[in-house]
Every structure is written in structure tokens, then in C-alpha cells.
Amino acid sequence: MAEEKTPILFRYRVLWHILFWIVCYLTYTLIYGGYWGNYYKEEAWLNLLLFPVRIFVVYSMIYYLIPKFLLKRKYFLFFVTVLFHALFLGFGIWYTLYFFGSIEGYTNYKEYPLIYPHKIFNSMLSNYTLPLSAAFVKLFKWWYLDQQYKKELEKEKLGAELKFLKAQIHPHFLFNTLNNLYALTLKRSKTSSDIVLRLSELLDYMLYQSNETEVQLDKELEIIKGYVELEKIRYNDRLDLHFRIEGDSSQKKIAPLILLPFVENSFKHGASKDPAKPKIKILIQIEDTCLKMDVVNNIPDSKKKENYYSEGLGLKNVRRRLELIYPDRHELTLRKQESEFLVQLIIQWTNNY
């Protein structure tokens, strides 16, 4: 699977190397053959003859000099070895031509001196673009693959963090709901069996149905409704609850368990702390471009002078999940007013919806 994601330029390495040398051979033959006139026959032979030297210099550059010095940040040593490398190429080209390059009826290289600095220097300049070009391609490949590797690591890291945060939701929610159930059993409430049933439905969703990156919004809203029903059973007529959902949710998807912590928090910090008449308002609006959610709970009189709000595990988790899943597509506002605590959440839909 990893290979399929790699661009075609970095796949089929052997075929690309073969193609590289074919292009090099044709380029040198056509350029120098055309430059000297009707010398295509000589250039075709000479470029074939020079292949071993050029191949050695190219592969020693990309598989030895660059990994040994450049990638280890030994820049001075790399510079020095490149100078000797270039000189080796110049000598190699010239002596190959001198000893093996003479063809009857064409250039006789042995007419020149064995030590001929001008020819050695020209051979170095005209041929060292080849290992430099190969080095550029190799460095670009290493850089690109390194960037891809870092992206994959970051993706895996974020995925692991999301799984960890999501895993924490289950025991946190279960703990709070079991507390509710415990309170009702102490009162020998007849609704305990209903709570057990609804709790089993919620846990089934959390453990088995919410493992996808996104779920149908309809299903997520059903879970919220189920949780609200659980709380209504617990508080009976003592709770002043206004819960409303507006808009069409049938064609929308959302990250699982991203809304529930805000609803749960309103009951935990609002209703459970108010022995009198707790008030909670929950409004969810589904629009074409976004989802809006407002959750308001009253602040009990006994808590108004205290530092009522501090982010617990549930809200910290959901805030971090929003940052990871909807980094540029959400707005979250948590605000304490005189007698109310307000949560406002906006999630922008993707272009897929």
C-alpha cells in the first residue's frame, strides 16, 4: 500500500536508471556529434566507451559521497571530496580517450600529450554536470520521502492521540451514568431498569458503532436524545429542560461523540449542583454549511461566588479532539455569565456534504 502512494517518479527504480542512462547516452552523442559535424559514428563509439567512467562517478556520488558526508553535515569534507571526485572524472575521461578512443579516420588522441591539463579540465567541466544532476534528483527524492515519512508519523501520532482521547470518553461517561443509576437504586426507583436499558444502548454505540472517523449525524443525535432521556428520568419534574433540534440531519456526518460531552457537562456542573430548580437549554441547528450547538445551564446560587468553571477531563478531551479533527472548521466558545454558563459550538461541513 505504501508503494502505491509513492509518485511514479520514485517507483520502478531500475527502469528509471536505465532510462536515465539511455537519455544521457543519446544527449552526449547528439550534442557532440552535431557540434563537430558528421562525427556521429565516432561520438556513438566514444560515449559508449566512456560509460564505465561516467557510471562510476555518478553512483559514487549518490551512494557514497552524499550519504557519507553531505547527509551527515560534513560539508567541508564533502566539498574537498567533490573536488577530487571531479578531478578523477576529468582524468578518467581523458585517459580513456587517450588510450582507447582513437578510431582510424577520426581523431587520434595520442597526438596530444599524456598529461594535457587543458583536455583534463575540459573533460571535467563538460561531464561533471552528470553526477551533479543525479545528485540533485537523489537529494530531491530523499527530501520528498522524508517529508512523506514525517507526515505519516504525524498522522499516526494524531490518530493515536484521537484514539486515546476517545477511549477516555467511555469510562468518563460510564462513571457519571453509573452514579446516576446508583442514586436511583438507593431510592428504589422503578425507573432503574429503564436506565440500565438506555445505558446498554449508549455503551453499544460507544464501544462498537462509533469506531469510524465519521458517523451519520442522525445516529449521533439519537445518542444525545438517549442521554437526555436518562437525565430526565433522574431529575423528574425538578428539571427545567428545553431541548430542540432544528434542520435536516439525514445527509450529514460528524465525528462520533463530539457533541455529547457538552450536553453531559451541563448536567454534571449545572443540574447536579442545583438542589432547587436546575435549568438547561440545548439547541442544535443543522444548516447547509454548518452545525450550531448552544448549551446553557444555570449556575447554582451556592456556586456564583466561586470559580464555577474549570475544564474537566471531558471538556479537555473534546476541545483537543475538535482541534485535531476540525482544525480550521470549528469555533468553540465557553462563557460564564452572571447566572448561566454558555457553550457555543459551530462546526463547518466539508465540501463532501
pLDDT at 81: 93
SS3 for 54-106, per residue?
A: HHHHHHHHHHHHHHHHHCCCCHHHHHHHHHHHHHHHHHHHHHHHHHHCCCCCC
Backbone angles phi, psi at 282, to 5 degrees: -130, 120
pLDDT at 43: 78
3-state secondary structure of 348: strand
Over residues 154-165, the pLDDT tens digits come to 666 666 655 655
Tell me: pLDDT of 4 over 60: no
Task: Report DSSP letters for 284-333, one per residue.
Answer: EEE-SSEEEEEEEEEPPGGGTTS------HHHHHHHHHHHHHSTTSEEEE
pLDDT at 116: 84
Tell me: pLDDT of 141 over 90: no
Mean pLDDT of the chain: 79
In this prediction the pTM is 0.53
State the Cα–Cα distance between residues 267 and 332, nearest whole angstrom: 19
Q: Which helix (H) or strand (E) holds 243?
A: strand 240-246
Over residues 237-288, the pLDDT tens digits come to 778 889 999 999 988 999 888 898 888 888 877 666 666 778 899 999 999 9
Q: In the numeric block, which cell numbers belong to residue 190?
A: 422503578
Listed residue (237, 289, 231, 239) closest to 260, CA to CA: 231
Between 247 and 109, the more confident residue is 247
**Domain 150-348 coded CATH 3.30.565.10:** yes
Listed residue (55, 255, 75, 40) closest to 158, CA to CA: 255
Going by pLDDT thresholds of 50, 70 and 90, the confidence category of residue 1 is very low
Listed residue (76, 120, 71) closest to 98, CA to CA: 120
Going by pLDDT thresholds of 50, 70 and 90, the confidence category of residue 37 is low
Q: Which long-range contacts (CB under 8 A, 24 or more apart) does 230-234 make?
A: 230/177, 230/180, 230/195, 230/198, 230/199, 230/202, 231/180, 231/267, 231/271, 233/184, 233/191, 233/194, 233/195, 234/180, 234/183, 234/184, 234/195
Over residues 82-106, the pLDDT tens digits come to 999 999 999 999 888 888 877 766 7
Going by pLDDT thresholds of 50, 70 and 90, the confidence category of residue 39 is low
Over residues 60-87, the pLDDT tens digits come to 999 999 999 998 889 999 999 999 999 9
Torsion-angle region of 323 (φ positive above 0: left; ψ -120 to 50: alpha; else: beta): alpha
Over residues 168-222, the pLDDT tens digits come to 555 656 666 666 666 666 665 566 666 677 777 777 777 676 677 888 999 889 9
3-state secondary structure of 260: helix
In the chain, domain spans: 2-148, 150-348
Going by pLDDT thresholds of 50, 70 and 90, the confidence category of residue 328 is confident
3-state secondary structure of 258: coil
State the Cα–Cα distance between residues 163 and 330, nearest whole angstrom: 20
pLDDT at 161: 57
pLDDT at 353: 46
